[in-house]
Structure 1
């Protein structure tokens, strides 16, 4: 893992997993059995080892009753930068180039209608 920020984030995640486990009074071996993994994987996860798979993290969170937190990691509805970039790329609404000739064509057609061929209700003959 190259990024120091990512390493720090994984270590914080590991501390939080360990804290949640200890608050529940669950031993590492018991959590490993409940999560369907090994005790060494749980220990590595709690240390912030980047080699622990995300599936193992998900299984541990299920065993701790916290799996909904995994879906909240990247909530695109709260992604301010992503939302701003998407809004910036949206097409601008307004007159298009093709609207001008169409409008001119409609005006020319109205001008060429003989006023004698229009009845009072607006229907042409």
Structure 2
């Protein structure tokens, strides 16, 4: 199966995340080698991640966020309880009427 090209907004987001990780690391006075050790990654992986290399698996970005105490940012990235589009689509599929299968009355419990 041929690989699709990476959309420009995706490339831009990964580059920004890598740059932000680099900035967060430097602000905390953590070397690339130390970050790599804390993440359980190689120095080369950290360098490539900070450059926005698209081939770096997402778990390395997650590990870096964890080191910085920011893993919740990834955890709540797609906030499904507040997904307006998804909730609207679900509401559109709700039945107009609900009939009782047993012929009895329905209502509150």
TM-score range, shorter chain: 0.7 to 0.9
1:70-97 superposed Cα distances (whole Å, 9 cap, x missing partner): 1011111232111111111122236x5x
1:9 offset after TM fit, Å? Answer: 0.9
The aligned counterpart of 1:51 is 55
In the alignment, which of 69, 74, 77 is matched to residue 70 of structure 1?
74
Count of matched residue positions in the alignment of Structure 1 and Structure 2:
98
Normalized per residue, the structure richer in helix is: 1
Q: Which has the larger radius of gyration?
A: 1
Pair 1:8-2:12 in alignment: yes
In the TM superposition, structure 1's runs of 4+ consecutive aligned residues that sit over 3 Å from their partners are none
> Secondary structure of the residue that 2:70 maps to in structure 1?
coil
- Superposed CA RMSD: 1.9
- Unaligned 5+ segments in structure 1 are 103-125
When the two structures are superposed, what TM-score results if normalisation uses the length of structure 1?
0.70
- Unaligned 5+ segments in structure 2 are 104-109
When the two structures are superposed, what TM-score results if normalisation uses the length of structure 2?
0.79
